[in-house]
Amino acid sequence: MTDIAEKIEQTSVEPSVEQRLHDSLNLNRRDFLKSSLTAASAAGLGGLGLSLVPSDSQAFAYEPYLRDDQLETVVTSCAHNCGSRHMLVAHKKGDVIVRLSTDDGRYQHNGVVGKDTFEEPQLRACLRGRSYRSRLYSAERLLYPMIRVGARGEGKFKRASWDEALGMVAYRMQELKQKYGPTALLDQSYAGASYGVLHKSDQIEGLLGRFLGMFGCRTNSWSVPSYQATTFSSRMTFGTIEDGNEDDAFAFSKLIIMWGWNPAYTFHGGNTFYYMRMAKQRGCRFVVIDPIYTDSASAYDAWWIPIRPNTDAAMMAGMAYYIFANGLQDQGFINRFVQGMDRETMPNWAQGQESFKDYIMGWSDGVPKTPEWAAQICGVSAQDIAKLAHLYATTKPAALKASWSPGRNAYGEQYNRMAAALQAMTGNIGVLGGCAEGVGKAWHAEGIAYPYDEFANVWFASIKSDRWAHCVLNYPNVKREEIGLWPRQDELDGVIPNIRGIFWQGSDWFNQLTNINKEISAIKKLDMVVCMDSTITPSGIWADVLLPIATHFERHDVALPWYKGHYYIHRPKVIQPLGESKTDFQVFTELAYRLGFGERFNPKATRDYFHNDDAVDEAYLRDWWEHKVMPHQGVTMPWEDFKRHGVYKFKLPRPHVAFQDNVEKGVKWATPSGRIEIFSTTLAQITDWTKTQYGYYIPAIPKWIEPWESLNHPLTQKYPFHLISPHPRWRTHSIFHNIPWLRETFAQEITINASDAKRLGIQTGDTIEVWNDRGGIVLPAYVTELCMPGVVVVYEGAWMDLDENGWDLGGNPDFLTNDEPSPAGGFAYNTCLVTLRKATEGRVHRPGWDVKATARSQVFRRDL
């Protein structure tokens, strides 16, 4: 053995993930070192003057490329909050996943490869899913419990035992509860693991809520970043968020309007494109309303209508005017099903109040919302507004898919309610090929495998999620409406929470919520920050305790679809947890034992669960299948068979269309009036807004309200660009940011219109500083004509990477976004003015923490 090989052998105490991989592939460790050295010398290390090439060097087959029949094949699913849930198939040797593939039809069809039908389409993974193995074995895997040793945010940790880490957390939890009361701990669990039935992270019904609720100390975060404005609209208008069709219904549309929706990037269902392509083949026309010409627009050859961000409600009001003025509304549908569309459909108790038509025609405020009026605000010509209104009102059936992004704005709820008004006035609700979405939740899944408990998810205060920093920084001088404090019927009503600690489970919220600099000020005031994750994330850097969590490949569960899709996918424990990881359920159970409610928290387990989870998880999952799925959902397949197939796809008798029974069978809507409420009974009756969770006035009918920042605002003199931050194709929010394969496909960059760039002397690849009063980021420019002038685009989810002057060199747009929430609770991510220039003072962009090993795509671009 050479000197170097000996040194490596002596210094490597912990086997790395790669070494474990090779070990499990039965490579002798010494052979492995030898072959790496052979490779190293072939790559030029011989130039160091060392004689590294063993004399018996010879060609050999590269061993990890094992043939399929040498590997075990295990069906599982992809995960996280990405807009879908596709199948992943692991091919493993021993305890190592060697490669991944995806659905090819064979698993549910007893080996018949290639079956892919309208009723049972394959669940084929995208590039992110297929690269999951790189995430599993990434260098950023968190393998051991860690405790902070430096200043908070400095990123210095020491390795700890589970006993030490959990002991510390349990001790501090008790201390904080005792000292500061039942609101001291903030629940910031989110959707990283929402779509499993057992190991769930979730704002609403996840394991952290169960744990903190039972502990008796919990401030809840109630507003959902994705679509709070939309949820509000769906609830007020239809009485439910289940206003979605399954994707196959798209195949029957004659016109699809993608309003702020880019399904080529942001999945909302697993086979959307497949069914929309069918519609295209049948002659469906497509329209895209978006400040950028998207890949969806290009794929369907859509009519692209660029719109000033945040002005959608005005454009829709202009369309409604055109429809009313030309008598194109479906008056029969309105009369039968709608409340408050016009004077005739106002409820008796509200006669004389403003109906939607009063507002649109200008009868109540003297301002007719004509297409010309709208054009001044939204920048779309009056002719185009009228043309689209005509097309929508005269093409049947037509799907106006109003996605969530334009609702992620100041007064975003008005956009969503206005969209619902258009859907209702054209009679496109409850019909195949039409669309009432909204939130768009379609098929109902049985989502929870752990038992109900009355204390699970109990909270003692509940605030708008992106106001936690505001609350901490200003405590106790905070008004309830500033933080959207949810009303209560007891003595805690109106009590401002005294937040002293945060738990992150399944969320990277420090990186993902608005106005990160404000969060940075607030976090310094806290006494405890706990991060439970499988990855060392940007949030984790700011934690006191890091708890390593087993990924969904390393525990037993069943996957649920996202908002659309009708299937379950079995998730066996494909490999043993890496490092010392434990599942979320194991960690909470052990903590609950330390705090005195372990048996109640996890009734099927004993304390041994921390070391032995298999039988307990199997028991919960079997119970769920046999007592929920089988009886409630007409399934006859036994649990054992489901496990063997790995997937269960429901065959629906007809495409699922929301509200079909309401329209065809007269079933009432779940609103107070039983009708579609364009005039909302609930909102019309609120007198003191400060006593509601909204905090501020919301009109009973949809209206155009000026956002607090837009291209029409005087602030454009200082900050002339409107920044929007959509969801990235190559990441699921922040997840996958560290995967080099994916960073090769796209780069974090700022998209700028060519005329704006020319004026500023900016070219593709130039490093750009973008800033406003809230913060500054650095990233490369992408210059194009596919983005309207005045608008710039930075995709959300880049891992923050601060320099010593507080610039984020990673290019995370949430250093620029505003934490002021919209009244209904919508996060105003896309309400954001900025300015920009070519980077000064040698400031650079850092695309990843692994700067030197990072993707080269943008380097190539710079060479253009």
Give residue 861's identity as a one-letter amino acid code.
R
Q: Is 167 exposed, middle or buried (0-12, 13-18, 19+ CB in 10 A)?
A: middle
x/- binding map, residues 68-87, to ligand MGD, per CB under 6 A? ------------xxxx----
Residues 210-239 that bind Mo ion (CB under 5 A): 226
Spatial contact of 629 and 568, defined as CB atoms under 8 Å apart: yes
Residue 122 binding: pick among ligand MGD, Mo ion, ligand SF4, none (C-beta 5-8 Å cut-off by kind): none
Q: Minimum distance from CB of 273 to ligand SF4 (Å)? A: 11
Angle at 12 between CA 8 and CA 16, to 5 degrees: 115
Residue 86 as a binder of ligand SF4 (CB under 6 A): the answer is yes
Sheet harboring 545-548: ordered strands across?
A: 157-159, 146-148, 545-548, 528-533, 501-505, 185-189, 219-221, 461-463
Q: Is 174 exposed, middle or buried (0-12, 13-18, 19+ CB in 10 A)?
A: middle
Q: Is 633 exposed, middle or buried (0-12, 13-18, 19+ CB in 10 A)?
A: middle
Spatial contact of 842 and 803, defined as CB atoms under 8 Å apart: no
Q: Minimum distance from CB of 620 to ligand MGD (Å)? A: 16
| Segment interacting with ligand MGD, rule: CB under 6 A, options 45-53, 159-167, 730-738, 760-768 | 730-738
The two counts, helices (H) then strands (E), for the chain are 31, 26
Residue 310 as a binder of ligand MGD (CB under 6 A): the answer is yes
Residues 103-132 that bind ligand MGD (CB under 6 A): none
Residue 339 as a binder of ligand SF4 (CB under 6 A): the answer is no
Q: Minimum distance from CB of 802 to ligand MGD (Å)? A: 17
Spatial contact of 220 and 463, defined as CB atoms under 8 Å apart: yes
Selected from 78, 146, 292, 816, the binder of ligand SF4 by CB under 6 A is 78
Q: Minimum distance from CB of 334 to ligand MGD (Å)? A: 26
Nearer of residues 227 and 648 to ligand MGD, judged by Cβ: 227
Residue 230 as a binder of ligand MGD (CB under 6 A): the answer is no
| Segment interacting with ligand SF4, rule: CB under 6 A, options 121-129, 347-355, 564-572, 588-596 | 121-129
Helix (H, G, I), strand (E, B) or coil at 574: coil
Torsion of CA 591, 531, 204, 237, to 10 degrees: 170
| Segment interacting with ligand SF4, rule: CB under 6 A, options 82-90, 157-165, 580-588, 836-844 | 82-90
Residue 814 binding: pick among Mo ion, ligand MGD, ligand SF4, none (C-beta 5-8 Å cut-off by kind): ligand MGD
Q: Minimum distance from CB of 442 to ligand SF4 (Å)? A: 17
Closest C-alpha among 162, 251, 824, 825 to residue 549:
162
Residue 86 binding: pick among Mo ion, ligand SF4, ligand MGD, none (C-beta 5-8 Å cut-off by kind): ligand SF4
Residue 125 binding: pick among ligand SF4, Mo ion, ligand MGD, none (C-beta 5-8 Å cut-off by kind): ligand SF4
Residue 509 binding: pick among ligand SF4, Mo ion, ligand MGD, none (C-beta 5-8 Å cut-off by kind): ligand MGD
Place of tokens 């904080």: 176
Nearer of residues 404 and 694 to ligand SF4, judged by Cβ: 404
Residue 85 as a binder of ligand SF4 (CB under 6 A): the answer is yes
> Two tokens at 678?
């364009």
Residue 225 as a binder of ligand MGD (CB under 6 A): the answer is yes
Selected from 105, 121, 129, 847, the binder of ligand SF4 by CB under 6 A is 129
Residues 714-753 that bind ligand SF4 (CB under 6 A): 732
x/- binding map, residues 235-274, to ligand SF4, per CB under 6 A? --------------------------------x-------
Q: Minimum distance from CB of 848 to Mo ion (Å)? A: 23
Alpha-carbon dihedral sign for residues 101, 106, 112, 118: negative
What does the alpha-carbon distance between residue 660 and residue 250 come to, in Å, rounded to a whole number?
15
Indicate the DSSP class of residue 823. T
Nearer of residues 84 and 122 to ligand MGD, judged by Cβ: 84
Closest C-alpha among 719, 227, 272, 748 to residue 438:
227
Residue 82 as a binder of ligand SF4 (CB under 6 A): the answer is yes
Residue 749 binding: pick among ligand MGD, Mo ion, ligand SF4, none (C-beta 5-8 Å cut-off by kind): none
Torsion of CA 710, 714, 719, 720, to 10 degrees: 70
| Segment interacting with ligand SF4, rule: CB under 6 A, options 49-57, 122-130, 255-263, 759-767 | 122-130
| Segment interacting with ligand SF4, rule: CB under 6 A, options 105-113, 123-131, 499-507, 721-729 | 123-131
Residue 194 as a binder of Mo ion (CB under 5 A): the answer is no
Give residue 325's identity as a one-letter amino acid code.
A
Residues 803-842 that bind ligand MGD (CB under 6 A): 813-814, 817, 829-830
3-state secondary structure 329-398: CCHHHHHHHEECCCHHHCCHHHCCCCCHHHHHHCCCCCCCCCHHHHHHHHCCCHHHHHHHHHHHHHCCCE
Q: Minimum distance from CB of 429 to ligand MGD (Å)? A: 20
Q: Tell me the helix, strand and coil percentages in the chain, rounded to 5.
A: 35, 15, 50
Spatial contact of 662 and 668, defined as CB atoms under 8 Å apart: yes
3-state secondary structure 147-189: EECCCCCCCCEEECCHHHHHHHHHHHHHHHHHHHCCCCEEEEE
3-state secondary structure 431-482: CCCCCCCCCCCCCCCCCCCCCCCCCCCCCCEEECHHHHHHHHHHCCCCCHHH
The residues binding Mo ion (CB under 5 A) are: 226
Please report, as ranges, the residues that interact with ligand MGD according to CB under 6 A: 80-83, 190-193, 199, 201, 225-226, 259-262, 265-267, 289-292, 294, 307, 309-310, 312, 403-406, 408-409, 505-509, 512, 532-535, 537, 549, 584, 724-729, 731-735, 796-797, 813-814, 817, 829-830
Binding stretches for ligand SF4 (CB under 6 A):
78, 82, 84-86, 125-126, 128-129, 267, 732
